[in-house]
């Protein structure tokens, strides 16, 4: 585990909110040079502190149909390797967008994004439930997203004009 310097903490805070921030703007906000900011980012990418860059898409504003599902999974951990080997088997399925080891009533939370509910149920029944270690699943479908990765989605626009009557 790497101890973060103050400049690295600042960089991570800024690019977590806006990964497309211009290097020049980033350097100004940090009070440093573009080269130093670029070198710090490159170093954190190499150390896998920065693991990737993502674009948050509000699919509800497009004609594309997407179904987001969260699947609770209960498993029997394997002796000697615990949950890691099972998690690896699951995250290697291309359909899996995220998987988390959880505390509480189930072991893993898996996130899927598919075109249809049928595609989600086929994944659960044909790929997930057939794994020997899986003891049970519960699938929850996201009906509406209000906020995702810190961004408010479908924010209502308020008309701030004053009403003028004759």
Q: Could you give all domains of the chain from N- to C-terminal order, each with its CATH number?
A: 6-46 (1.10.10), 59-145 (3.30.70.920)
The β-bridge partners of 138 are 72
As a whole number of angstroms, the distance between CA 160 and CA 31 comes to 37
Q: Are 163 and 90 in contact (CB under 8 A)?
A: no
pTM given for the model = 0.78
pLDDT per residue, tens digit, the chain (166 aa), is 778 999 999 999 999 988 899 999 999 999 999 999 999 999 999 999 999 988 888 888 889 889 999 999 999 988 888 899 999 999 999 999 999 999 999 999 999 999 999 999 999 999 999 999 999 999 999 999 898 888 888 766 666 666 777 7
């Amino acid at each position: 585990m790497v101890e973060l310097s103050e400049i690295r903490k600042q960089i991570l805070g800024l690019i977590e909110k806006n990964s497309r921030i211009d290097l020049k703007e980033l350097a100004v906000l940090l009070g440093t040079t573009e080269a130093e900011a670029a070198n710090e980012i490159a170093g954190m990418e190499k150390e896998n502190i920065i693991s990737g860059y993502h674009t948050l898409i509000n699919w509800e504003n497009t004609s594309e149909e997407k179904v987001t599902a969260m699947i609770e999974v209960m498993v029997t951990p394997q002796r000697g390797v615990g949950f890691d080997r099972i998690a690896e088997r699951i995250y290697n399925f291309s359909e899996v967008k995220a998987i988390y080891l959880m505390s509480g009533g189930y072991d893993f939370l898996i996130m899927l994004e598919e075109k249809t509910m049928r595609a989600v149920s086929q994944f659960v029944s044909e790929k997930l439930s057939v794994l020997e270690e899986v003891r049970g699943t519960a699938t929850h479908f996201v009906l509406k997203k209000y906020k995702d990765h810190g961004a408010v989605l479908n924010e209502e626009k308020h008309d701030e004009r004053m009403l003028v009557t004759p």
